[in-house]
Structure 1
Protein backbone atom coordinates (compact mmCIF):
# COMPACT_ATOMS: atom_id res chain seq x y z
CA UNK A 1 0.00 0.00 0.00
CA UNK A 2 1.39 3.39 -0.96
CA UNK A 3 -0.01 6.88 -0.51
CA UNK A 4 0.90 10.21 -2.07
CA UNK A 5 -0.10 13.76 -1.15
CA UNK A 6 -0.08 16.60 -3.68
CA UNK A 7 -0.14 19.99 -1.99
CA UNK A 8 2.66 21.96 -3.67
CA UNK A 9 3.52 23.34 -7.07
CA UNK A 10 0.15 23.27 -8.84
CA UNK A 11 -2.35 25.99 -9.81
CA UNK A 12 -4.95 23.99 -7.89
CA UNK A 13 -4.91 20.59 -6.28
CA UNK A 14 -8.07 18.82 -7.30
CA UNK A 15 -8.17 19.11 -11.08
CA UNK A 16 -8.47 15.44 -11.90
CA UNK A 17 -7.70 15.40 -15.63
CA UNK A 18 -3.97 15.43 -14.93
CA UNK A 19 -4.34 13.00 -12.04
CA UNK A 20 -6.20 10.46 -14.16
CA UNK A 21 -3.73 10.90 -17.03
CA UNK A 22 -0.86 10.22 -14.63
CA UNK A 23 -2.21 6.79 -13.69
CA UNK A 24 -3.59 5.78 -17.09
CA UNK A 25 -4.35 2.92 -18.01
CA UNK A 26 -5.29 2.04 -14.42
CA UNK A 27 -8.28 4.41 -14.73
CA UNK A 28 -9.93 2.62 -17.66
CA UNK A 29 -9.25 -0.82 -16.17
CA UNK A 30 -11.62 -0.06 -13.28
CA UNK A 31 -15.10 1.05 -12.35
CA UNK A 32 -15.19 4.06 -10.05
CA UNK A 33 -17.34 4.78 -7.03
CA UNK A 34 -17.46 8.54 -6.46
CA UNK A 35 -18.69 9.68 -3.05
CA UNK A 36 -18.59 12.58 -0.61
CA UNK A 37 -18.34 15.05 -3.47
CA UNK A 38 -18.82 18.76 -3.99
CA UNK A 39 -18.40 20.54 -7.33
CA UNK A 40 -18.32 17.61 -9.75
CA UNK A 41 -18.73 17.46 -13.55
CA UNK A 42 -22.43 17.53 -14.50
CA UNK A 43 -21.86 14.79 -17.08
CA UNK A 44 -21.59 12.33 -14.16
CA UNK A 45 -25.28 12.75 -13.26
CA UNK A 46 -26.58 9.83 -15.40
CA UNK A 47 -24.34 7.54 -13.32
CA UNK A 48 -25.82 8.61 -9.98
CA UNK A 49 -27.41 6.51 -7.28
CA UNK A 50 -28.32 6.67 -3.60
CA UNK A 51 -27.62 4.54 -0.57
CA UNK A 52 -30.12 5.85 1.95
CA UNK A 53 -29.48 9.58 2.10
CA UNK A 54 -25.96 9.28 0.69
CA UNK A 55 -25.48 9.94 -3.02
CA UNK A 56 -22.85 8.32 -5.20
CA UNK A 57 -21.80 7.82 -8.81
CA UNK A 58 -20.78 4.45 -10.29
CA UNK A 59 -18.86 5.11 -13.49
CA UNK A 60 -16.87 2.95 -15.91
CA UNK A 61 -13.28 4.18 -16.05
CA UNK A 62 -13.40 4.91 -19.79
CA UNK A 63 -16.33 7.26 -19.26
CA UNK A 64 -14.84 8.88 -16.16
CA UNK A 65 -11.63 9.67 -18.00
CA UNK A 66 -13.60 11.18 -20.90
CA UNK A 67 -15.86 13.27 -18.63
CA UNK A 68 -13.02 14.64 -16.55
CA UNK A 69 -10.97 15.46 -19.64
CA UNK A 70 -13.94 17.40 -21.10
CA UNK A 71 -15.03 19.10 -17.86
CA UNK A 72 -11.82 19.69 -15.93
CA UNK A 73 -12.31 22.02 -13.01
CA UNK A 74 -11.49 21.62 -9.32
CA UNK A 75 -13.51 19.31 -7.12
CA UNK A 76 -13.89 20.74 -3.62
CA UNK A 77 -14.33 17.39 -1.91
CA UNK A 78 -14.68 13.85 -3.14
CA UNK A 79 -13.44 10.30 -2.98
CA UNK A 80 -12.92 8.31 -6.17
CA UNK A 81 -12.54 4.63 -5.31
CA UNK A 82 -11.33 2.34 -8.10
CA UNK A 83 -12.54 -1.28 -8.32
CA UNK A 84 -11.60 -4.11 -10.65
CA UNK A 85 -14.25 -4.40 -13.38
CA UNK A 86 -15.53 -7.75 -12.10
CA UNK A 87 -16.57 -6.32 -8.70
CA UNK A 88 -20.35 -5.67 -8.82
CA UNK A 89 -21.91 -2.46 -7.50
CA UNK A 90 -24.26 -4.31 -5.13
CA UNK A 91 -21.22 -5.80 -3.39
CA UNK A 92 -19.43 -2.43 -3.31
CA UNK A 93 -22.28 -0.53 -1.65
CA UNK A 94 -22.81 -3.24 0.95
CA UNK A 95 -19.79 -1.77 2.81
CA UNK A 96 -20.98 1.82 3.06
CA UNK A 97 -19.59 4.82 1.23
CA UNK A 98 -16.16 6.45 1.63
CA UNK A 99 -15.98 10.18 2.42
CA UNK A 100 -13.36 12.91 2.56
CA UNK A 101 -14.75 15.74 4.70
CA UNK A 102 -14.13 14.77 8.31
CA UNK A 103 -12.36 11.47 7.64
CA UNK A 104 -9.23 11.38 9.81
CA UNK A 105 -7.80 8.08 8.56
CA UNK A 106 -5.85 9.81 5.79
CA UNK A 107 -3.57 11.33 8.40
CA UNK A 108 -2.73 8.11 10.27
CA UNK A 109 -0.12 5.47 9.56
CA UNK A 110 -0.23 2.85 8.29
CA UNK A 111 -2.22 4.37 5.47
CA UNK A 112 -5.18 2.48 4.07
CA UNK A 113 -7.94 2.69 1.52
CA UNK A 114 -11.35 3.32 3.09
CA UNK A 115 -13.27 0.76 1.05
CA UNK A 116 -11.97 -2.79 1.61
CA UNK A 117 -12.65 -3.86 -1.99
CA UNK A 118 -11.11 -0.84 -3.74
CA UNK A 119 -7.53 -0.92 -4.92
CA UNK A 120 -7.12 2.79 -5.67
CA UNK A 121 -8.44 5.83 -3.82
CA UNK A 122 -8.15 9.40 -5.11
CA UNK A 123 -9.28 12.17 -2.78
CA UNK A 124 -10.07 15.83 -3.35
CA UNK A 125 -9.59 17.36 0.09
CA UNK A 126 -11.17 20.80 0.33
CA UNK A 127 -9.56 21.59 -3.06
CA UNK A 128 -6.42 22.27 -1.00
CA UNK A 129 -4.74 18.98 -1.85
CA UNK A 130 -5.12 15.67 -3.62
CA UNK A 131 -4.39 12.28 -2.10
CA UNK A 132 -3.77 9.06 -4.00
CA UNK A 133 -3.61 5.74 -2.19
CA UNK A 134 -3.02 2.51 -4.09
CA UNK A 135 -2.45 -1.13 -3.32
CA UNK A 136 -0.15 -1.12 -6.39
CA UNK A 137 3.00 0.86 -5.64
CA UNK A 138 3.64 1.31 -9.38
CA UNK A 139 0.45 3.39 -9.65
CA UNK A 140 1.56 5.61 -6.77
CA UNK A 141 4.99 5.96 -8.40
CA UNK A 142 3.41 6.95 -11.73
CA UNK A 143 1.55 9.70 -9.88
CA UNK A 144 4.78 10.84 -8.19
CA UNK A 145 6.55 10.88 -11.56
CA UNK A 146 3.83 13.11 -13.03
CA UNK A 147 3.82 15.38 -9.97
CA UNK A 148 7.44 15.65 -8.80
CA UNK A 149 6.53 17.94 -5.88
CA UNK A 150 4.13 15.36 -4.46
CA UNK A 151 5.16 13.64 -1.23
CA UNK A 152 4.96 10.21 0.32
CA UNK A 153 1.85 10.25 2.54
CA UNK A 154 3.28 8.08 5.31
CA UNK A 155 6.33 10.33 5.58
CA UNK A 156 4.09 13.39 5.59
CA UNK A 157 1.99 11.86 8.37
CA UNK A 158 5.03 11.43 10.59
CA UNK A 159 5.16 15.10 11.44
CA UNK A 160 3.90 17.50 8.84
CA UNK A 161 0.35 17.87 10.23
CA UNK A 162 1.81 19.77 13.20
CA UNK A 163 3.59 22.26 10.97
CA UNK A 164 2.74 25.92 10.51
CA UNK A 165 1.77 25.22 6.90
CA UNK A 166 -0.76 22.59 8.03
CA UNK A 167 -2.29 24.99 10.56
CA UNK A 168 -2.69 27.56 7.78
CA UNK A 169 -4.63 25.04 5.67
CA UNK A 170 -7.02 24.42 8.58
CA UNK A 171 -7.39 28.13 9.31
CA UNK A 172 -8.32 28.80 5.67
CA UNK A 173 -10.85 25.98 5.78
CA UNK A 174 -12.32 27.36 9.02
CA UNK A 175 -12.72 30.78 7.43
CA UNK A 176 -14.49 29.27 4.44
CA UNK A 177 -16.53 26.51 6.09
CA UNK A 178 -16.79 27.69 9.68
CA UNK A 179 -15.52 24.45 11.18
CA UNK A 180 -12.48 23.63 9.08
CA UNK A 181 -14.23 20.63 7.54
CA UNK A 182 -14.05 18.78 10.83
Structure 2
Protein backbone atom coordinates (compact mmCIF):
# COMPACT_ATOMS: atom_id res chain seq x y z
CA UNK A 1 0.00 0.00 0.00
CA UNK A 2 1.39 3.37 -0.99
CA UNK A 3 0.11 6.90 -0.70
CA UNK A 4 0.72 10.48 -1.76
CA UNK A 5 -0.31 13.85 -0.49
CA UNK A 6 -0.79 16.35 -3.31
CA UNK A 7 -0.91 20.07 -2.57
CA UNK A 8 -1.83 21.44 -5.99
CA UNK A 9 -3.44 20.29 -9.22
CA UNK A 10 -2.83 21.75 -12.66
CA UNK A 11 -6.19 23.58 -12.68
CA UNK A 12 -5.20 25.65 -9.67
CA UNK A 13 -7.53 24.16 -7.10
CA UNK A 14 -7.04 20.87 -5.35
CA UNK A 15 -10.35 19.07 -5.65
CA UNK A 16 -11.00 18.94 -9.40
CA UNK A 17 -12.04 15.32 -9.81
CA UNK A 18 -12.13 15.59 -13.62
CA UNK A 19 -8.36 16.05 -13.61
CA UNK A 20 -7.96 13.12 -11.21
CA UNK A 21 -10.29 10.71 -13.01
CA UNK A 22 -8.74 11.58 -16.39
CA UNK A 23 -5.43 10.15 -15.12
CA UNK A 24 -6.88 6.84 -13.97
CA UNK A 25 -6.28 3.72 -16.06
CA UNK A 26 -9.31 2.16 -17.75
CA UNK A 27 -9.28 -0.87 -15.41
CA UNK A 28 -9.76 1.46 -12.44
CA UNK A 29 -12.57 3.32 -14.21
CA UNK A 30 -14.38 0.02 -14.80
CA UNK A 31 -14.72 -0.45 -11.04
CA UNK A 32 -17.56 0.78 -8.85
CA UNK A 33 -16.79 3.85 -6.76
CA UNK A 34 -18.21 5.02 -3.46
CA UNK A 35 -18.20 8.74 -2.70
CA UNK A 36 -18.87 9.52 0.95
CA UNK A 37 -18.58 12.41 3.38
CA UNK A 38 -18.69 14.84 0.47
CA UNK A 39 -19.26 18.57 0.31
CA UNK A 40 -19.13 20.42 -3.00
CA UNK A 41 -19.21 24.01 -4.18
CA UNK A 42 -22.13 23.10 -6.51
CA UNK A 43 -24.35 20.06 -7.03
CA UNK A 44 -25.22 20.10 -10.75
CA UNK A 45 -26.05 16.39 -11.12
CA UNK A 46 -28.87 14.34 -9.68
CA UNK A 47 -26.36 11.46 -9.40
CA UNK A 48 -24.39 13.50 -6.82
CA UNK A 49 -27.10 15.16 -4.71
CA UNK A 50 -26.58 17.52 -1.80
CA UNK A 51 -28.66 15.46 0.63
CA UNK A 52 -27.28 11.93 0.33
CA UNK A 53 -24.82 10.09 2.56
CA UNK A 54 -23.07 8.39 -0.32
CA UNK A 55 -22.94 7.91 -4.09
CA UNK A 56 -22.34 4.52 -5.75
CA UNK A 57 -21.39 4.82 -9.44
CA UNK A 58 -19.09 3.23 -11.96
CA UNK A 59 -15.83 5.10 -12.48
CA UNK A 60 -16.59 5.67 -16.18
CA UNK A 61 -19.85 7.42 -15.21
CA UNK A 62 -18.07 9.58 -12.66
CA UNK A 63 -15.40 10.55 -15.18
CA UNK A 64 -18.09 11.56 -17.67
CA UNK A 65 -19.94 13.66 -15.07
CA UNK A 66 -16.78 15.34 -13.82
CA UNK A 67 -15.83 16.29 -17.37
CA UNK A 68 -19.25 17.84 -18.03
CA UNK A 69 -19.18 20.30 -15.14
CA UNK A 70 -16.37 21.52 -12.91
CA UNK A 71 -17.18 20.56 -9.36
CA UNK A 72 -14.92 21.39 -6.45
CA UNK A 73 -15.09 18.71 -3.78
CA UNK A 74 -14.13 20.53 -0.60
CA UNK A 75 -14.51 17.31 1.39
CA UNK A 76 -14.96 13.81 0.09
CA UNK A 77 -13.73 10.26 0.14
CA UNK A 78 -13.65 8.48 -3.23
CA UNK A 79 -13.08 4.72 -2.95
CA UNK A 80 -12.89 2.14 -5.72
CA UNK A 81 -13.82 -1.49 -5.19
CA UNK A 82 -12.81 -4.68 -6.99
CA UNK A 83 -15.17 -5.75 -9.75
CA UNK A 84 -17.97 -7.86 -8.33
CA UNK A 85 -18.06 -6.06 -4.98
CA UNK A 86 -21.69 -5.47 -4.00
CA UNK A 87 -22.98 -2.28 -2.40
CA UNK A 88 -24.63 -4.30 0.37
CA UNK A 89 -21.17 -5.64 1.33
CA UNK A 90 -19.63 -2.15 1.21
CA UNK A 91 -22.34 -0.81 3.50
CA UNK A 92 -21.64 -3.45 6.17
CA UNK A 93 -19.04 -1.09 7.66
CA UNK A 94 -19.20 2.64 8.40
CA UNK A 95 -18.92 4.98 5.44
CA UNK A 96 -15.41 6.43 5.03
CA UNK A 97 -15.04 9.99 6.33
CA UNK A 98 -12.41 12.67 5.81
CA UNK A 99 -13.47 15.44 8.18
CA UNK A 100 -12.19 14.63 11.66
CA UNK A 101 -10.55 11.33 10.67
CA UNK A 102 -7.29 11.23 12.62
CA UNK A 103 -6.25 7.94 10.96
CA UNK A 104 -5.49 9.89 7.77
CA UNK A 105 -2.48 11.43 9.46
CA UNK A 106 -0.89 8.29 10.92
CA UNK A 107 2.36 6.98 9.41
CA UNK A 108 0.88 3.63 8.32
CA UNK A 109 -0.94 4.23 5.02
CA UNK A 110 -4.27 2.39 4.85
CA UNK A 111 -7.39 2.75 2.77
CA UNK A 112 -10.25 3.70 5.09
CA UNK A 113 -12.71 1.10 3.78
CA UNK A 114 -11.39 -2.44 4.31
CA UNK A 115 -12.67 -3.57 0.87
CA UNK A 116 -11.30 -0.57 -1.03
CA UNK A 117 -8.66 -0.70 -3.76
CA UNK A 118 -7.89 2.96 -4.42
CA UNK A 119 -8.87 6.03 -2.45
CA UNK A 120 -8.80 9.78 -3.05
CA UNK A 121 -9.58 12.10 -0.18
CA UNK A 122 -10.27 15.76 -0.66
CA UNK A 123 -9.39 17.24 2.70
CA UNK A 124 -10.94 20.65 3.31
CA UNK A 125 -10.19 21.67 -0.28
CA UNK A 126 -6.54 22.14 0.66
CA UNK A 127 -4.87 18.79 -0.06
CA UNK A 128 -5.63 15.57 -1.87
CA UNK A 129 -4.62 12.28 -0.31
CA UNK A 130 -4.17 9.33 -2.65
CA UNK A 131 -3.81 5.73 -1.50
CA UNK A 132 -3.79 2.63 -3.66
CA UNK A 133 -2.98 -1.05 -3.64
CA UNK A 134 -1.88 -0.54 -7.27
CA UNK A 135 1.61 0.97 -7.29
CA UNK A 136 1.17 1.94 -10.97
CA UNK A 137 -1.55 4.42 -10.00
CA UNK A 138 0.69 5.96 -7.36
CA UNK A 139 3.57 6.15 -9.85
CA UNK A 140 1.39 7.87 -12.48
CA UNK A 141 0.30 10.54 -10.02
CA UNK A 142 3.84 10.93 -8.68
CA UNK A 143 5.05 11.51 -12.25
CA UNK A 144 2.32 14.06 -13.02
CA UNK A 145 2.61 15.93 -9.71
CA UNK A 146 6.26 15.42 -8.79
CA UNK A 147 6.86 18.98 -7.63
CA UNK A 148 3.68 19.23 -5.52
CA UNK A 149 3.41 15.74 -4.00
CA UNK A 150 5.07 13.86 -1.17
CA UNK A 151 5.03 10.28 -0.02
CA UNK A 152 2.16 10.10 2.48
CA UNK A 153 3.92 7.76 4.91
CA UNK A 154 6.95 10.05 5.00
CA UNK A 155 4.76 13.15 5.33
CA UNK A 156 2.80 11.63 8.24
CA UNK A 157 5.99 10.51 9.99
CA UNK A 158 7.30 14.08 10.26
Q: Please list, as runs of the form range in 1=range in 2, the aligned pairs for 1:143-162 lying within 5 A after superposition.
A: 143-148=141-146, 149-159=148-158
Which structure is higher in RCO with an 8 Å CA cutoff and minimum separation 6?
2
Partner of 1:29: 30
> How far apart are residue 27 of structure 1 and its match?
3.6
Distance change >3 Å, CA 7–CA 46, structure 1 → 2: closer
TM-score (norm 1): 0.78
Distance change >3 Å, CA 68–CA 138, structure 1 → 2: same
Question: Which of 42, 50, 61 is equivalent to 2:44?
Answer: 42
Separation in 1 of the partners of 2:118 and 2:3? 10
Separation in 2 of the partners of 1:60 and 1:110? 28
Q: Which runs of 5+ in 1 are unaligned?
A: 160-182
TM-score (norm 2): 0.89
Partner of 2:14: 13
Separation in 2 of the partners of 1:125 and 1:136? 22
1:91-143 alpha-carbon deviations (Å, 9 max, x no partner): 00011200100001111021100100011110110000111100111111111
Partner of 1:136: 134
Partner of 2:107: 109
Q: Which runs of 5+ in 2 are unaligned?
A: none
Separation in 1 of the partners of 2:19 and 2:48? 22
Q: Secondary structure at the match of 1:111?
A: coil
> How far apart are residue 9 of structure 1 and its match?
6.4
1:46-100 alpha-carbon deviations (Å, 9 max, x no partner): 367x9xxx71100011101100111223111000010122000000001120010
Q: Please list, as runs of the form range in 1=range in 2, the aligned pairs for 1:69-88 lying within 5 A after superposition.
A: 69-88=67-86
> How far apart are residue 26 of structure 1 and its match?
4.1
> How far apart are residue 41 of structure 1 and its match?
4.3
| Alignment RMSD (CA, Å) | 1.8
Partner of 1:99: 97
Q: Which structure's residues are more often helix, by fraction?
A: 1
Asked if the contact 2:99/2:124 (under 8 Å) is kept, the reply is: yes
Asked if the contact 1:32/1:82 (under 8 Å) is kept, the reply is: yes
Distance change >3 Å, CA 137–CA 94, structure 1 → 2: same
Separation in 2 of the partners of 1:18 and 1:90? 30
1:2 equivalenced with 2:2 (yes/no): yes
Asked if the contact 1:38/1:78 (under 8 Å) is kept, the reply is: yes
